[in-house]
Amino acid sequence: MATEHGRDPGFDAATALRYAETLVYALAGLLALSLLVVGTVAVIAALKHSMQPGQNWHWAIHLESTVSYMGLFVSRLLAVLVPLFAVTLVGRRVVDDA
């Protein structure tokens, strides 16, 4: 039997490394999208401020809250992304099939 020793022959270190690399790419994509959101809100706030000078506080609040929430999101995202990226770099050196 193939599973007699308790190991799945289809899941090895190279497969785990591919999953980790896919996760790194997905998290990096989320990071890029979050930075795009902050930039978009900043541009909208600047445009609204130039068109409606009396209401700049309203869009400043939107920009400030967006930057605050995205900063929290990006910090948590980087806390996962940086170590996972380091694992994939080391894994490429260690695993022969990668």
pLDDT tens-digit profile of 74-90? 999 999 999 999 999 99
Res 1 pLDDT > 50: no
Tell me the whole-structure pTM to 2 decimals. Answer: 0.75
Is residue 24 within 8 A of residue 74, CB to CB? The reply is: no
Cα 80 from Cα 88, distance rounded (Å): 13
Question: Is residue 60 very low, low, confident or very high in pLDDT (cuts 50, 70, 90)?
Answer: confident
In a domain, 12, yes or no: no
Cα 32 from Cα 70, distance rounded (Å): 11
In a domain, 60, yes or no: yes
Res 23 pLDDT > 90: yes
Q: Which is more confident, 10 or 27?
A: 27
Q: List the domain range (segments joined by +) for residue 88.
A: 32-94
27, amino acid identity:
L
In a domain, 13, yes or no: no
In a domain, 51, yes or no: yes
In a domain, 18, yes or no: no
Is residue 88 within 8 A of residue 4, CB to CB? The reply is: no
In a domain, 37, yes or no: yes
Is residue 91 within 8 A of residue 17, CB to CB? The reply is: yes
In a domain, 44, yes or no: yes
Total domains in the chain come to: 1
In a domain, 20, yes or no: no
